[in-house]
Chains A and B, each alone.
Chain A
């Protein structure tokens, strides 16, 4: 019994190839039902995201199964398998397991540590379960994969710091204000990037916003999207008194908000903190405002630095994630090996012998003084009981199964049935 993984990702295939390989959800169902009926493959799972298409399978003939799966994925989009072959990777056994763990932990993602992948892996597994394509081995493997992902996320800082400009702005806002739900945002200029930043702020609790824009119509438009208020550019100074976060992206040549302007407002604002996010080039907000008490100014370059710094941090954390992945991979492999016939039979016999020995030890003292012949008889009797009880299961396990598909599943079932110790 073998595990294989075939697929392509952003490292092996350019976007033109990946986009045509992507498997739509409806297709995934169809493909899966086709795969599970194939004699080569006993269990299968399909994972398709914007950066990868992968098929994970349990098979007794890895070479042929790999060819079959590549063909299947290529055919799904009417492409020629031979032309696509260089973009595919085929991983076996431990490498396949490690890769899956790495993918679910977001260590293989384009943006290291991005959180979406875990949900996508879960969905892929759910679809496989729905089509009865996941059996004893994939079930366990996928549970381990989700567990590893959780471990990596909680034990390393891989997903902790913001790696986009708008997230970095939100992270800063939270480190200044903590709770954003009572905070009000003023948007100066209604560019796309500013809109994205506002969207992130709203997702993090902000509920109130004001937009000022040269073209008032666009301001009205954006304000209605966020249930905010549109104002004229001339009203900005007035509005500065009541807001807590200012995002500016106006295409102005000069500072829209000056040092003296803000300094004059401090008293009227009762010294409340104010956070300026200046994503305009040239800058709209006088950077000297940062020197005023409780005023914080970040321009686009500074936010970009934060992002780069965080990315480097993530790379360092990824190394620790990698260690966890390897560790878990080895554990899984150990379990996988127990699915061989010989260790299973041995475990089963050990288990029964253990019971026999314990029961004998308990019983003999309670029978009072026994002669050595009597003890021998008891011993022989229990030994024969164990042997007879195990005869059928052991023969069942040891039978010739070269022409069967799913030994792994049977062995796993036997192990669960007798609660044979698993490597965890």
Chain B
């Protein structure tokens, strides 16, 4: 059942990616609608997959690196579907769908971990921590992608080359305000994720803060996004600078997740889930 679902998820995200990329070139709304529908189907399959796994393992099923990658994809796709309800940003699908596809593909290629970490998975703080962190990550990923598009569009306007991208990309203001909204939603989620994580650490390990690499890097990301939010609100920062900061913030986030999560030693490290030093 889950193997079949995984195939379904991969197929749906692949189709979504293809339709959206075709849409960027051919500009036919029927393509973007199909892309949206297939992406939505992938999202539903993933939701179903989580529910089934929750049923079978009996605890919140996002613990291993493999599972978090897939959950990340779910958050990115879900965030995009929500965005699409409110704003017209179809072109973004051409980046979101491939990203979701890569994340699920990465997850399916990562070897599974049969032994469960020794940390308590029964605490309610674990799902709160994981869900808020990855919803936040998903939203910051969207901010990252929309910032890339912003820079591309700004370059064509400032460089006075009103060709392929100028016509296809949305107005600067729309992309900037989406970036802002992502920050407004992503930042509280990231904060909640860090607070709930430290409570969870207190509950299961006996201390709130252990200077674990992932904790440190998360704090750095948090400060960066906090600074960006502050500058936006007080100084009216927007446009290029905000886009560049969103891109840097997400890259650090990605490094925190991938680098600190797998390479460095710490109790967050996925590969040795039980090790708490």
Contact = CB atoms under 8 A, between A and B. Distances in A.
Interface of A: 157, 160-161, 172, 174-179, 267, 269-273, 290, 293-294, 296, 298, 302, 305-306, 309-310
A161 B166 CA distance: 11
Given A298-B160, A305-B160, A177 B173 contact: yes
Contacts of B172: 175-178, 273
B118 interface: no
Contacts of A161: 167
Closest 6 CB pairs of A and B: A270-B236, A178-B171, A271-B236, A294-B239, A178-B173, A175-B171
Contacts of B121: none
B163 A309 contact: yes
A175 B166 contact: yes
Interface residues of B, number: 21
B91 to A, nearest CB: 13
B157 interface: yes
Given A157-B167, A273-B239, 5 more contacts: A157-B27, A160-B167, A176-B157, A177-B171, A271-B235
Contacts of A290: 158
A175 B236 contact: no
A19 to B, nearest CB: 35
B46 to A, nearest CB: 33
A175 B153 contact: yes
Contacts of B239: 271, 273, 293-294
A293 B171 contact: no
B53 interface: no
Contacts of B174: 178
B230 interface: no
Contacts of B173: 176-179, 273
B154 to A, nearest CB: 9
B225 to A, nearest CB: 19
B33 interface: no
Nearest to A275: B157
B167 A172 contact: no
Contacts of B153: 175
B238 interface: yes
B240 interface: yes
Interface string B132-176: 000000000000000000000100011010110011001111100
B237 A271 contact: yes
A296 B157 contact: yes
Contact of A270 (B166, B171, B235): B235
B241 interface: yes
Interface centre among B153, B157, B174, B237 (most CB of A within 10 A): B157
Nearest to B240: A293
A306 B157 CA distance: 11
Contacts of A174: 171
A317 to B, nearest CB: 12
